Amino acid sequence: MKLKVLNEDIAEVIITEEELQQRIRELGEQISQDYDEDTELILICILRGAVMFMADLARNINLPVTFDFMDVSSYGSGTESSGTVRIIKDLEDDIGGRHVLIVEDIIDTGLTLKHVIKLLETRDPASVRAVTLLDKPERREMKHVEVAYNGFEIPDKFVVGYGLDFAEKYRNLPYIGVLKEELYN
Ligand code: IMP
Ligand code: MG
Protein backbone atom coordinates (compact mmCIF):
# COMPACT_ATOMS: atom_id res chain seq x y z
CA MET A 1 0.00 0.00 0.00
CA LYS A 2 1.23 3.44 -0.96
CA LEU A 3 2.28 5.96 1.71
CA LYS A 4 1.60 3.63 4.61
CA VAL A 5 2.82 6.09 7.23
CA LEU A 6 0.26 8.71 6.22
CA ASN A 7 -2.56 6.26 5.53
CA GLU A 8 -2.58 5.28 9.19
CA ASP A 9 -3.77 8.77 10.14
CA ILE A 10 -6.81 8.68 7.85
CA ALA A 11 -10.20 7.70 9.29
CA GLU A 12 -12.02 7.50 5.97
CA VAL A 13 -11.25 7.97 2.28
CA ILE A 14 -14.01 10.11 0.83
CA ILE A 15 -12.74 10.50 -2.75
CA THR A 16 -10.46 7.87 -4.24
CA GLU A 17 -7.59 8.55 -6.59
CA GLU A 18 -9.60 7.08 -9.50
CA GLU A 19 -12.64 9.24 -8.72
CA LEU A 20 -10.45 12.35 -8.57
CA GLN A 21 -8.81 11.61 -11.89
CA GLN A 22 -12.11 10.78 -13.58
CA ARG A 23 -13.77 13.99 -12.41
CA ILE A 24 -10.73 16.10 -13.34
CA ARG A 25 -10.89 14.70 -16.86
CA GLU A 26 -14.54 15.76 -17.03
CA LEU A 27 -13.77 19.25 -15.71
CA GLY A 28 -10.99 19.62 -18.26
CA GLU A 29 -13.31 18.61 -21.09
CA GLN A 30 -15.99 21.01 -19.94
CA ILE A 31 -13.54 23.90 -19.64
CA SER A 32 -12.07 23.10 -23.06
CA GLN A 33 -15.54 23.26 -24.61
CA ASP A 34 -16.62 26.43 -22.85
CA TYR A 35 -13.86 28.66 -24.23
CA ASP A 36 -13.23 29.38 -27.90
CA GLU A 37 -10.56 27.01 -29.12
CA ASP A 38 -7.92 29.69 -29.62
CA THR A 39 -8.38 31.20 -26.15
CA GLU A 40 -5.16 31.53 -24.19
CA LEU A 41 -6.12 30.78 -20.62
CA ILE A 42 -4.07 31.80 -17.59
CA LEU A 43 -4.47 29.22 -14.85
CA ILE A 44 -3.93 30.83 -11.48
CA CYS A 45 -3.04 28.35 -8.79
CA ILE A 46 -3.91 29.41 -5.27
CA LEU A 47 -0.97 28.11 -3.29
CA ARG A 48 -0.35 25.75 -1.83
CA GLY A 49 -3.34 23.46 -1.75
CA ALA A 50 -4.27 23.68 -5.44
CA VAL A 51 -0.91 22.52 -6.78
CA MET A 52 -1.87 18.88 -7.41
CA PHE A 53 -5.24 19.79 -8.83
CA MET A 54 -3.86 22.38 -11.21
CA ALA A 55 -1.15 20.03 -12.45
CA ASP A 56 -3.69 17.34 -13.31
CA LEU A 57 -6.39 19.71 -14.56
CA ALA A 58 -3.99 21.51 -16.92
CA ARG A 59 -3.15 18.21 -18.62
CA ASN A 60 -6.84 17.79 -19.41
CA ILE A 61 -7.46 21.25 -20.89
CA ASN A 62 -7.26 21.32 -24.64
CA LEU A 63 -6.33 25.01 -24.94
CA PRO A 64 -3.06 26.91 -24.81
CA VAL A 65 -2.64 27.61 -21.10
CA THR A 66 -0.08 29.43 -19.01
CA PHE A 67 0.53 29.06 -15.27
CA ASP A 68 0.74 31.69 -12.61
CA PHE A 69 0.67 31.39 -8.83
CA MET A 70 -0.73 33.40 -5.99
CA ASP A 71 -0.34 32.83 -2.28
CA VAL A 72 -2.94 34.32 0.01
CA SER A 73 -3.72 33.96 3.65
CA SER A 74 -7.18 34.59 4.94
CA TYR A 75 -7.89 36.36 8.16
CA GLY A 76 -11.35 36.25 9.53
CA SER A 77 -13.09 33.46 11.33
CA GLY A 78 -16.65 32.47 12.03
CA THR A 79 -16.89 35.37 14.43
CA GLU A 80 -15.63 37.89 11.90
CA SER A 81 -17.71 37.73 8.76
CA SER A 82 -15.99 40.61 7.01
CA GLY A 83 -12.50 39.15 7.37
CA THR A 84 -9.95 39.99 4.77
CA VAL A 85 -7.32 38.29 2.70
CA ARG A 86 -3.64 39.14 2.65
CA ILE A 87 -1.52 38.57 -0.43
CA ILE A 88 1.70 36.79 0.39
CA LYS A 89 2.77 36.24 -3.20
CA ASP A 90 1.20 38.11 -6.08
CA LEU A 91 1.01 37.06 -9.74
CA GLU A 92 4.03 37.47 -12.00
CA ASP A 93 2.04 38.15 -15.17
CA ASP A 94 -0.13 41.05 -16.22
CA ILE A 95 -3.67 39.74 -16.62
CA GLY A 96 -5.09 42.83 -18.35
CA GLY A 97 -7.21 41.80 -21.34
CA ARG A 98 -6.61 38.11 -20.70
CA HIS A 99 -8.79 35.16 -19.74
CA VAL A 100 -8.17 34.03 -16.19
CA LEU A 101 -9.21 30.80 -14.51
CA ILE A 102 -8.56 30.70 -10.77
CA VAL A 103 -7.79 27.18 -9.55
CA GLU A 104 -8.69 26.51 -5.91
CA ASP A 105 -8.50 23.38 -3.80
CA ILE A 106 -11.55 23.91 -1.61
CA ILE A 107 -14.20 26.48 -0.88
CA ASP A 108 -15.12 26.61 2.74
CA THR A 109 -16.62 29.97 3.74
CA GLY A 110 -15.90 31.42 0.30
CA LEU A 111 -13.97 34.33 1.73
CA THR A 112 -10.65 33.60 0.07
CA LEU A 113 -12.11 33.19 -3.38
CA LYS A 114 -14.34 36.23 -3.04
CA HIS A 115 -11.36 38.45 -2.27
CA VAL A 116 -9.15 36.98 -4.96
CA ILE A 117 -11.85 37.47 -7.62
CA LYS A 118 -12.46 41.03 -6.49
CA LEU A 119 -8.76 41.84 -6.62
CA LEU A 120 -8.19 40.28 -10.03
CA GLU A 121 -11.20 42.09 -11.49
CA THR A 122 -9.56 45.42 -10.68
CA ARG A 123 -6.80 44.49 -13.17
CA ASP A 124 -9.21 44.46 -16.12
CA PRO A 125 -8.93 40.88 -17.35
CA ALA A 126 -11.06 39.82 -20.33
CA SER A 127 -12.75 37.28 -18.04
CA VAL A 128 -12.37 35.77 -14.59
CA ARG A 129 -13.77 32.39 -13.67
CA ALA A 130 -13.00 29.98 -10.88
CA VAL A 131 -12.73 26.23 -10.62
CA THR A 132 -12.63 24.44 -7.29
CA LEU A 133 -11.93 20.79 -6.71
CA LEU A 134 -13.99 20.65 -3.51
CA ASP A 135 -16.86 22.66 -2.10
CA LYS A 136 -18.40 22.55 1.36
CA PRO A 137 -21.79 24.15 0.64
CA GLU A 138 -22.93 23.95 4.27
CA ARG A 139 -20.16 26.29 5.29
CA ARG A 140 -20.60 28.86 2.57
CA GLU A 141 -21.04 32.35 3.98
CA MET A 142 -20.37 34.19 0.76
CA LYS A 143 -23.47 33.01 -1.08
CA HIS A 144 -22.76 35.19 -4.06
CA VAL A 145 -19.31 33.81 -4.81
CA GLU A 146 -19.65 32.39 -8.29
CA VAL A 147 -17.76 29.25 -9.08
CA ALA A 148 -18.02 28.21 -12.69
CA TYR A 149 -16.67 24.69 -12.16
CA ASN A 150 -16.95 22.49 -9.11
CA GLY A 151 -15.41 19.04 -8.77
CA PHE A 152 -17.15 17.59 -5.72
CA GLU A 153 -19.50 18.80 -3.01
CA ILE A 154 -18.40 17.36 0.32
CA PRO A 155 -19.82 17.38 3.85
CA ASP A 156 -18.50 19.76 6.49
CA LYS A 157 -15.56 17.63 7.58
CA PHE A 158 -11.88 18.52 7.69
CA VAL A 159 -10.24 16.80 4.75
CA VAL A 160 -6.65 16.29 3.69
CA GLY A 161 -4.76 14.87 0.75
CA TYR A 162 -4.24 15.65 -2.92
CA GLY A 163 -2.76 19.04 -2.01
CA LEU A 164 -4.80 19.76 1.11
CA ASP A 165 -2.93 19.79 4.37
CA PHE A 166 -3.20 19.65 8.09
CA ALA A 167 -0.25 21.59 9.57
CA GLU A 168 1.43 21.31 6.13
CA LYS A 169 1.28 17.51 6.13
CA TYR A 170 -0.71 15.00 4.06
CA ARG A 171 -0.54 16.99 0.82
CA ASN A 172 1.06 14.03 -0.94
CA LEU A 173 -1.78 11.58 -0.37
CA PRO A 174 -3.23 10.74 -3.79
CA TYR A 175 -6.84 10.73 -2.47
CA ILE A 176 -9.06 12.96 -0.30
CA GLY A 177 -9.54 11.65 3.21
CA VAL A 178 -10.82 12.64 6.61
CA LEU A 179 -8.17 12.84 9.28
CA LYS A 180 -8.64 10.84 12.48
CA GLU A 181 -10.17 13.22 14.98
CA GLU A 182 -7.64 12.55 17.72
CA LEU A 183 -4.95 14.04 15.47
CA TYR A 184 -6.36 17.53 15.37
CA ASN A 185 -8.14 17.81 18.69
P1 IMP B 1 -12.41 29.89 2.77
O2 IMP B 1 -11.78 31.23 2.58
O3 IMP B 1 -13.11 29.79 4.08
O4 IMP B 1 -13.28 29.47 1.63
O5 IMP B 1 -11.22 28.88 2.96
C6 IMP B 1 -10.58 28.28 1.94
C7 IMP B 1 -9.24 27.77 2.38
O8 IMP B 1 -9.25 27.15 3.69
C9 IMP B 1 -8.82 26.69 1.43
O10 IMP B 1 -8.13 27.22 0.33
C11 IMP B 1 -7.97 25.78 2.31
O12 IMP B 1 -6.63 26.25 2.30
C13 IMP B 1 -8.51 25.94 3.69
N14 IMP B 1 -9.43 24.83 4.03
C15 IMP B 1 -10.77 24.90 4.18
N16 IMP B 1 -11.30 23.70 4.49
C17 IMP B 1 -10.26 22.84 4.54
C18 IMP B 1 -10.17 21.41 4.80
O19 IMP B 1 -11.15 20.67 5.05
N20 IMP B 1 -8.93 20.87 4.75
C21 IMP B 1 -7.82 21.61 4.45
N22 IMP B 1 -7.86 22.94 4.19
C23 IMP B 1 -9.07 23.55 4.24
MG1 MG C 1 -5.96 27.18 0.14
Domain boundaries, the chain: 3-179
The dihedral over CA atoms of 57, 99, 154, 160, expressed in degrees to the nearest 10, equals: 60
User: Which class for 133: exposed (0-12), middle (13-18), buried (19 or more C-beta within 10 A)?
Assistant: buried
Q: What is the C-alpha to C-alpha distance for residues 8 and 113, in angstroms, rounded to an integer? A: 32
Neighbours of ion ligand 2 (CB under 5 A): 49
Question: If you measure from the C-alpha of residue 158 to the centroid of ligand 2, how many angstroms do you get, rounded to a whole number?
Answer: 13
Q: Can you name the CATH fold of 3-179?
A: Rossmann fold (3.40.50)
Q: What is the C-alpha to C-alpha distance for residues 75 and 81, in angstroms, rounded to an integer? A: 10
Question: If you measure from the C-alpha of residue 72 to the centroid of ligand 2, how many angstroms do you get, rounded to a whole number?
Answer: 8
Catalytic machinery residues:
108
| Smallest-distance ligand from the CA of 107 | 1
Parallel, antiparallel or unpaired: strands 65-74 and 41-47: parallel
Low-confidence ranges of the chain (pLDDT < 50): 78-81
- Exposure string for 155-172, b = 16+ CB within 10 A, e = fewer: eeeebbbbbbeeeeebbe
Look up the pTM and report it: 0.93
Ligand 1 neighbourhood includes 103 CB (under 6 angstroms): no
